[in-house]
Amino acid sequence: MSIEPRPSGRVVVTGIGAITPLGTGIEKTWPRLLAGENAIDNITIMDVSDYATRFAGEVRDFNAEDWLDKKDARRIDRFISYGVAASRMALDDSGFPLNEDTAEWVGALVGSGVGGHNVLAEQARRLFEGGPSKVSPFFVPYIIPDMASGMISITLGLKGPSTCIVTACATGTDAIGDAYHIVKRGDAIAMLAGGTEAAINELGMAGFCSARAMSTRNDDPTHASRPFDNDRDGFVMGEGSGVLMLEDYDHAIARGAKIYGEVVGYGFTSDAHHITAPHPEGEGAVRAMKNSLKRAGITVEQIDYINAHGTSTGLNDKGETAAIKKVFGEQAYKVPISSTKSMIGHTLGATGALEAIFCLLAMRDSIIPPTINYEFPDPDCDLDYVPNVARKAEINYTLSNSFGFGGHNATLVLKKL
């Protein structure tokens, strides 16, 4: 029997799934994150002897064949595998009754910042070494970012909206924001939403090395990702996927679902400034935060924790700190802020979704994850970054920031129920 959604106008999170350098599954990742464990180490999946940066946050306990048909697992790009696995986790965790009647009202919106770099590099190698006949017919499907959502829908049998968003490092947050609106307006009862990325490969590492955006602390990789610290020298690449099951509030309540929290605010803006550098005064970030708070209908005093974008780059950390001060005023010095990138690196298009998950778990467990490697305070970054050790706290509202190349700014406000 077909069903028709009656949107309540409220959207909650009923399931989460995560693949991170700290472990496959949130059960592995979350306790290690709270313990301040570091997943950054020397790269093992490729020869990096000629690279300026030779370390990253690799995912080392993941087997695609645990989540996909063996044939698909062997040939699709890792970013797709991660996205499918995290989505399976989120769906299973939610307990959502997916069946013939509900499938047409459940969709997928899982984005990627850079898409299938691994397949792209391999197929380019085949072309130049063997000619055009050696290029796989699966080349195009497996490099385009929307194929994460496509394979999630195919694998899980989701017949609702299937779409994709690409806003660089803001992708995961924007995907959740877009999916939130899809459910809120009644185009779906539930959406699997988030981001996925796998850019630790020859092409991805070479590109970011050439851009001189990454840390080159090759003699001490565990201390390389150090957001807001005066001794930082660039971001550290990470990989993984974060997916949330967003569901209509009334539907979730009616079926007795467990609820991690509610999405209550989403703001997204453009710097209109530069293709890679953020606005020096954080102008677009300010508006994104203000808009998310306005949509949530709350004041800055009600935010109990900020998960910062906090990339460990000079421009981002100073700009984000300045933006928080402009939005929060004196309250900026009272609200705890942390960057979980200090432990897992920067997972690009997946980062916003993973950090939204960390916000939800922080509210659930009343504890704030730390910013590790914070040793030498930057006078321009003088807020409370929860240095090095997790902190117990009552958390009812969290704010999560994501900023991407192209001047994309995205902010989520999440509420504990």
**DSSP-assigned states of every residue in 81-98:** HHHHHHHHHHHHHHT---
Residue 68 and residue 190 share a domain:
yes
Separation between Cα atoms, residue 227 and residue 217, nearest integer Å:
14
Residue 395 and residue 306 share a domain:
yes
Show the domain range for 223. 11-254
Separation between Cα atoms, residue 29 and residue 25, nearest integer Å:
6
Burial of 127 (0-12, 13-18, 19+ CB in 10 A): middle
Active site residues: 169, 309, 346
pTM above 0.85, yes or no: yes
* Domain's final residue, options 254, 287, 316: 254
Residue 368 and residue 225 share a domain:
no
* Domain's final residue, options 254, 281, 308: 254
Burial of 381 (0-12, 13-18, 19+ CB in 10 A): buried
Separation between Cα atoms, residue 26 and residue 195, nearest integer Å:
15
Name residue 36's amino acid: G
Per-residue confidence in pLDDT tens, the chain, 417 aa: 457 778 989 999 999 999 999 999 999 999 999 999 999 999 999 999 999 999 999 999 999 999 999 999 999 999 999 999 999 999 999 999 999 999 999 999 999 999 998 999 899 999 999 999 999 999 999 999 999 999 999 999 999 999 999 999 999 999 999 999 999 999 999 999 999 999 999 999 999 999 999 999 999 999 999 999 999 999 999 999 999 999 999 999 999 999 999 999 999 999 888 987 888 878 999 999 999 999 999 999 999 999 999 999 999 999 999 999 999 999 999 999 999 999 999 999 999 999 999 999 999 999 999 999 999 999 999 999 999 999 999 999 999 999 998 889 999 999 999
* Domain's final residue, options 197, 223, 254: 254
Q: Is residue 261 part of a domain?
A: no
